[in-house]
Structure 1
Amino acid sequence: MNKNIYVQIQEALQKGQRVNIVTTFSGQEGRIHDDLSKKLILDEIIGESIIKPVALKEDESISFYEPIALKDRLIILGGGHVALPLCEFASKTGFHVTVIDDRPEFANHLRFPW
């Protein structure tokens, strides 16, 4: 598989998979691992989930693991007065927000522009 790394990242994220870009530095040369079909189980390497970039030294090389994360999803049922500040707050704090309401005047992009 010799796809562009960004196409591979997009496909993996659309499938809900966790993605990390791994750059390994060895001496004066460095390279980017662009084969996402080889899964790295980072939990086994460092004992916890990676949610921020981290550098690890393994053998004679140093690898930089950079997570690519999807936004967490918040679904709000009802587009009334309580949903307005909740939607704004959630979207500003990193959530992908979906508002569901059977009234078109309450669940639309004009009412919830975030």
Structure 2
Amino acid sequence: MAFDSNDGVSRLAAALDSRMKQHADKPLCLDFAEIQADGSLLSNTFPIAIPKEDYRVCRQLTLGKTGDAFCDVQTEHSGKAYLPESMRQLQAGDRVLIAWVQDTAVVIDIITRPV
């Protein structure tokens, strides 16, 4: 029995086709970008640098510079916790993963090569 002759299957196929076309036409949601010397963001798919004040950054990328003390540790080995290189703030030349939220770029994290 051919699926063409089954009205229910044909309607389901048409609905799926319509939904897939709607989603395929949506713009890219995730992208790679690079932080420029002036702090602007240059994405792989948007050819114009986005000024620093026009994009957002996830909180964990605003903790500070490598070696900064960012909290006091109150245990038997009291002292300060220092920010490791892997948790430092953004700097020029960083490759980053961004998400587009409507028309705003949001930097999610720094992208590194495996070691």
Q: State which structure, 1 or 2, has the greater radius of gyration over its C-alpha atoms.
A: 2
Return the TM-score normalized by structure 2.
Answer: 0.22
Higher relative contact order (CA closer than 8 Å, sequence separation 6+): 2
From the two aligned structures, give the one with the greater helix fraction. 2
